[in-house]
A and B are shown apart, each in its own frame.
Chain A
Amino acid sequence: MYDVLFALTLIFGIAAVLLVVAAQRSLPVIPFYLLAGVLVGVVIDESQLLDLAQWGVAFLVFLFGIHVDLGAVRSTGRISVAVSIVQVAVVGGLAVGAGLVFGLDATNAVYLGVAAALSSSLVATSYLDSAADTRPTYARLAESIHFTEDVLGVLIVLSLSAFVYAATPAVEQFAAAGGILALALIIRYAVFHRLTARLRGDSEVMMLIGIAFVVGFIALAEAATLSIVVGAFAAGIAVADDYPHSLELVDTVDDLEDFFSPIFFVTLGALLTLPGLESIGYTLVLLVAIVVLNPLLAAALLLRTGFDGRTAVLTGLTLDQVSIFSLFIAIEALAAEQIAAPVFEAIILTAAITMLLAASTGRHAESINRWLRERGVVSALGESVGKRTQVSDDLSNHVIVVDFEHGGRELVDSSTAHERERPLLVIEDNPALYDEIREACENYVYGDVLNEQVWKQAQLEEAALVVALTPRQARAKAVAGLETDVPRIVRVDTTEQAAECSERGASGVIYPDVLAAERVGDDLVAVLEGEISREEFVERGHDRERAEMGSE
């Protein structure tokens, strides 16, 4: 007991200090956990923590499984699924080849390939994490690519336990895994809600049921000699992430994960030893694959499917870190004594380096994009401009609306409803909205506002007004700073931003919070003063809403 307590105190103590540092600089936490592990590993015997560390893996994968939203993948993800499969196959293949050239056996070359190819949402969410509505196209795209790679990660774990670790024939293993997943789906759709409905929001019992699911499915997986990752994933599938479970079950498991996952990462760090020349060599191979190949390949693939240059580059840049599944695979391989020590070390080391690097590239993505564009890399990768664009030749005195999704739709609808004569032109960079825009507008340009070409197509110099409704600060600033005499109105979300955009040349700014306060404030004062009844208040809220929908 004393030893375990000592180890846990040390783990959480060091982790806490490092986390405070990480939080101050907005850096990702996992590299710091690994670093803490290296420090802690000097004093403690990590083998006694392996049980707790495995629970960390179980909860991480369980939560991932819970968040799997099959419907969303089906509707938006076809392109990302294709892109990620091609990217994983190409980069993975190259890295396996490099491993073989280095003289590794086939299994270890595969480990190297997996580590090079996969990126993970579990890591990337930390900097992709922002309110859904302000999430730009590239973040959504990145999310579904990461998601696909996580699922590939589960499949690779499964294949490894079927082909490499197991003594029994592989086919049976896949059948068993299929059976477990089928059971999970049955529970999700037929049993889960009936089970939880009677608890009426008791989060304590809900949490225990969640944990019991994890334990139960892991037991099934172990009985079939499958990895616990497969079991925990199935357990996550069995839990529906809808209201109110998202509050009562998922959030509590999330808090539990915060307890166990540091133990996993720190233990992983503690398993590291001083890297030798061989490990450093593999690390370099992995770094080249992950930091250079992955982003460029993904960007090139996205450009081929019709995305604009900026979205493609920014999405590519989110793929430059090692996946958490590669870490699971590494620790399982270590336990099965299948992985060579230098390969293991290289994977962990690369994970720490790339996760830190990813935080920095994420922050400087815009300038990296500009740099690549200036050097002609983006056009070399195959950017095409002018597709999905329709502008009538005699267009002039028009209003250019940037961003269809954040108010542009309502603006266009209202203009159509009132049969206003002034023509509108929409600039949008999300291909998912393309069909809707084509329906609603006569003039539209597909592309990014940071690209001068786009403005030429939009006939900026002929326009009467530019309205940028985008909540993304960088793009609002770009519109405000356009070198033109055409008046520009941009949306801002802070007072400082308002001042900055005005300074850059915007003729007006719109601050939604202030607008909302103005509208709601009047009605609220009226109802509180008794001028209108609560019913009238509700009615007014609806009327405004209807007005906003442009169907008055």
Chain B
Amino acid sequence: MSLGGIALATDFALLIVAAAVLSYAARLTGQPTIVAYILTGVVVGPIGLGIVGEDQLIEILSELGLGFLLFLLGIEMRFDDIREIMRPVGVIAVGQAVLQAIASTAVALALGFTLFQSLMLALATTFGATPIIVKVLGDKGDLKTLYGKADVGILIFQDIYLVLALAILTVGTVDDTAEIATSIGRVLILMVAIGLVAYAASKYVLPSLLRASAANKSTLFTVGIAWAFVFIFAAEALELSVELGAFIAGLSLAQLPYSTELKERMRPATNFFIAVFFASIALQMERGQLLAYWQEALLACAALLVINFGIVFGLFYSQRFDMETSFLGTISMLQVSEFSVVLGALAVNEGFVEEGILGFLSLMALVTMPISTYYVRYNREIFDRVEPFLSRFEREDTIEADPVEYEDHAVIVGYNRFTAELATLLEDAVEDVVIVEDGAEYVEELAEGDHEFIFGNARHGEIRQEANVAEADVLVSVATRDDVNRRLVEETPETISIVRTTTEASAQRLRDHGADYVVETAGLVGTELAELLATFDDREAFDQRLAELSERARSETLRANESVDPASTSRDDGRDRTRHRDEERDRRNDENGGETDV
């Protein structure tokens, strides 16, 4: 047995260091990291410096990365989020898939690809790039807007379509039509079977399994990973796509309360492995292959932007979305997705197409992804330019959708007697009281309680976003970690924030970073007792106060609700600002003679 060097001059180590350097550069220039990862493979692989070839570890991790990515995609599939606009979004997604496939096939044929290649390209290029759309819109805070939700909805439909495409691609090359039909039939039957197993598990096994594992931080994670691996392995053993198994595994966890926490815990490993995956794509490619069709790729990019804009915008408009939503929703979707590359890579592996086609797809992704981050980021500015031309087509009966996120709410991080008492006090003053807690022992109590409940640790940005911490009216945190409290108060400058901490030093730090009200337990207890002792010589007063304190400590019931008049609730500035923006938009729409959707 020998351990060998794991870092020195191994291909894997070089790949990671190069990816870190390039993604750092990408971050500084505002580019998506995926572009940096793909470029990493180009730079260190045979196309560029030629210092890294494929090795076993890279292969394992990239395969795992893809599996985990699909697993997370499955976990994210929460149908509740898009229920209200399910129908129009479904129409857009299906319409887009069909029309875009036809258009892409036509373009590819016109560029001189064979019919089979063209169909393959059409299959691969219909997706929007989830990481880019979700990341850039998330950074802009637009995910919960109407157009953001519509885009996320379309992406969910595309995911289903992607999974089917992956499943069918794994059938492999067969010549006989009957054989293809049997293979596809077999795939579909096995998929349904796995799906049924997963569904049954999510109903009967997973809730109690995860409840039991949520007691320990490593256990939830390991159980999640094991769950993913069981399905990944089952899919591999049944000669189905690994990605499909992972996706179904994720889907079966999606509707459970633990999903967000689990997803956030798995994200680092996924990010790490998926970086390896994207970087490894170009490792199998020669320069000639990447650039085999470079002219065609550039032409196709231009055609894709123009034609797809027309298709998607038309579909949005036909589904009675207003002009702004249609426009913003459309331009976010205009790029070649990482899944195009995934499908391309799989198609190459299965022998459907040659490496050149993968090069073509990678090149398109490399070109359209960076460009699209700019037009997604500046989408409103672009819209303001073109609005005069579009506004005359504005309809009157546009779709409206209520935001699914919390508003006028209070966020409580950590559940204990202190926060429970405050939650009762807050009940009438705010719309919702959202409790964020990751202790397994409270799950049942909180899930059935009167307040909203998010299972998870506030250290994750995603959890804070789900609770919409930044726009809460009131924040109460009893998080044990100082850095989590600091992040919370820094994210809530406009919010009334109450934080409990244990030392005077950290209390001072939190106050410096914007906490309104810091409760320091030791000091509180000390002062209370000092006050109590001051009455020690007046035995009656002392005994009465002590009895009162003891009674309250022993009683399970919370202090009687003191009702708060919601009308006089102080409005925080953040919301006022939002309202301003809305009013401004109303006015703008009025000036343009259109109706508002808000």
Contact = CB atoms under 8 A, between A and B. Distances in A.
A513 B550 contact: no
A219 B529 contact: no
A5 interface: yes
B527 A410 contact: yes
A407 B523 CA distance: 5
A211 B16 CA distance: 8
A256 B268 contact: yes
B547 interface: yes
A524 B536 contact: no
Judged by DSSP, the binding face of A is helix
Interface residues of A, number: 126
A507 B546 CA distance: 8
Given A511-B553, A525-B564, A519 B524 contact: yes
Interface in B393-423: 416-418, 421-422
Contacts of A508: 546-547, 549-550
A516 B500 contact: yes
Nearest to A540: B517
Contacts, number: 369
B422 A2 contact: no
A251 B459 contact: yes
Contacts of A262: 222
A527 B476 CA distance: 14
B82 to A, nearest CB: 25
A541 B496 contact: no
Which residue of B242, B417, B529 has the most chain A CB atoms within 10 A of its CB atom? B529
Given A132-B502, A407-B522, A495-B553, 8 more contacts: A29-B216, A204-B33, A205-B27, A205-B33, A258-B265, A521-B422, A537-B517, A541-B516
A498 B362 CA distance: 66
A374 interface: no
A253 B271 CA distance: 11
B216 A510 contact: no
B177 interface: no
B226 interface: yes
A411 B459 contact: no
A509 B27 CA distance: 55
Contact of A222 (B5, B226, B426, B532): B5
Range class of the B interface residue count: 35 or more
Interface stretch (A18-26, A275-283, A362-370, A382-390): A18-26
A211 B20 CA distance: 8
A420 to B, nearest CB: 7
B30 to A, nearest CB: 11
B523 A548 contact: yes
Judged by DSSP, the binding face of B is helix
Nearest to B478: A513
A74 interface: no
Given A243-B486, A511-B553, A525-B425, A420 B526 contact: no
Interface of B: 1-9, 13, 16-17, 19-21, 23-24, 26-28, 33, 56-57, 59-60, 63-64, 209, 212-213, 215-216, 218-219, 221-223, 225-227, 229-230, 232-233, 236-237, 242, 265-269, 271-272, 275, 416-418, 421-422, 425-426, 429, 459, 461, 474, 480, 482-484, 486-487, 496, 498, 500, 502-504, 507, 511, 516-530, 532-534, 536, 546-547, 549-550, 552-556, 559, 562, 564-565, 568-570
B550 A498 contact: yes
Contacts of A209: 20, 24
A273 B227 CA distance: 29
Contacts of B271: 204, 207-208, 252
Contacts of B236: 1-2, 5
22 contacts: A5-B229, A12-B222, A12-B226, A15-B222, A24-B212, A50-B1, A50-B3, A50-B4, A219-B8, A222-B8, A259-B221, A399-B536, A411-B529, A414-B527, A494-B417, A511-B417, A512-B418, A513-B418, A514-B418, A517-B422, A528-B496, A541-B516
Given A2-B236, A19-B219, A530-B570, A208 B275 contact: yes
Interface string A515-546: 11111110111011110011001101110010
Contacts of A530: 568-570
Contacts of B229: 5, 8-9, 12-13
A514 B552 contact: yes
A107 B521 CA distance: 53
B339 to A, nearest CB: 18
A-B interface, 6 closest residue pairs, ranked by CB to CB distance from nearest = A410-B526, A133-B502, A517-B421, A548-B523, A541-B517, A212-B20
A408 B521 CA distance: 12
Contacts of A208: 16, 19-20, 23-24, 271-272, 275
A216 to B, nearest CB: 6
A211 B3 contact: no
B504 to A, nearest CB: 7
Given A16-B222, A517-B422, A335 B2 contact: yes
Contact of B516 (A8, A29, A537): A537
B304 to A, nearest CB: 27
B408 to A, nearest CB: 12
